[in-house]
Amino acid sequence: MKLIFAGTPEFASTAMQALVDAGHEIVLVLTQPDRPAGRGMKLQASAVKQFALENNIPVAQPRSLRLDGKFPEEAEHGKAAIDKAIADGAEAMIVAAYGLILPQWALTSPKLGCLNIHASLLPRWRGAAPIHRAIEAGDATTGVTIMQMDVGLDTGDMLLRGELPILDIDTTGSLHDKLADMGGDLIVKTLAELANLKAEKQPEVGIDSGITYAHKIEKTEAHIDWSQSAEVITRRIRAFNPFPGAATTLNGEQIKVWGAELGDKTLLQANKTYKNGQIVALAGVFIACAAINNVVNLTELQRPGGKRLKVPDFVRGFDVQVGMCFGDLV
């Protein structure tokens, strides 16, 4: 089948590869404009654009597709590219983490409409950051939903779903890779079975609807609150790996925390008062008290400008003492 593909990050490029491997022909790619990245802040093409260029697929990068929006000329160019792709035989648009809202004209332009690859079990975790939020919330499972897009935020009819357990060691990075592979497999299966799939409507908004929203991750969320439980702290550290990276302070220095696990509560001495974030032991890991009767083992840390290090290596270059507190003021 001839397709239009709209997406931006690696999650989307994985699906593109699966579609190409399955014999589908992508005749047009829509992706976000190049963005500054890296230490030199040079313009960098998205993963989807890089894949398109490597495979000689035409690319359009409008900042908006709204004809009545801030960038009407770019939207017109985008519409012209889509119209040409449809005239050349494109029957559907596949959308994965594109980053732009598709207006009604775009949703209805292809004969088979627009199919979205969403990294959650809808209606749970509609929105921008479903993988992060599922880990942060302590969900036991997640997955991928293929849906027929409409004008709402991830509200379209569901065509196919795949489920995956969230392991205690999963980070957003590791779970992303597994869900990206699943998304590629499911979109290929959806197109193969499209004529026979029965669309399932999502529930209406209500108390028992199961609808939750995965709001965009903000850098301000990264700072560890040591008054929270050990379970919450470790989940948030995993959820914010690799972006934005959980952070705390120690001895006046900002520290990134990349790895943590629940610690052994028996290390806490009876009838002794501990402060939130206090280091209670050094045994190959920093063992910090998150709150009364809660212990967190920190396993991988990073100083500003330094490398990510396992704690035994980190300790060699940092004066750490039992009794110090994470979360002290800079």
CATH architecture of 2-214: 3-Layer(aba) Sandwich (3.40)
- Burial class of residue 208 (count of CB atoms within 10 Å of its CB; 0-12, 13-18, 19+): exposed
Confirm if 98 and 8 have CB atoms less than 8 A apart: yes
Is-contact 91 5, C-beta < 8 A? Answer: no
pLDDT of residue 330: 41
* Superfamily per CATH, domain 219-316: Formyl transferase, C-terminal domain (3.10.25.10)
How far apart CA 187 and CA 210 sit, in angstroms, is 24
Helix (H) or strand (E) holding 108: helix 104-108
196 torsion bin: left (phi>0), alpha (psi -120 to 50), beta (else): alpha
| pLDDT, tens digit, 9 for 90 and up, residues 22-36 | 999 999 999 999 998
Q: 116-120, 155-159, 270-274, 314-318 — which is least confidently predicted?
A: 270-274
Strand-pair partners of 114: 93
Q: Kindly state the average pLDDT of the residues 105-111.
A: 97
Structure tokens that stand for 279 in this block = 């280091």
Domain boundaries, given as residue ranges, for the chain: 2-214, 219-316
Q: Are 279 and 286 in contact (CB under 8 A)?
A: yes
Intra-chain end-to-end CA distance of the chain, in Å: 57
**Residue 329 binned pLDDT confidence (cut-offs 50, 70, 90):** low
**pLDDT tens column, 245-293:** 999 999 889 999 999 999 888 888 878 888 889 998 887 777 877 766 7
The mean pLDDT of 202-223, rounded to a whole number, is 91
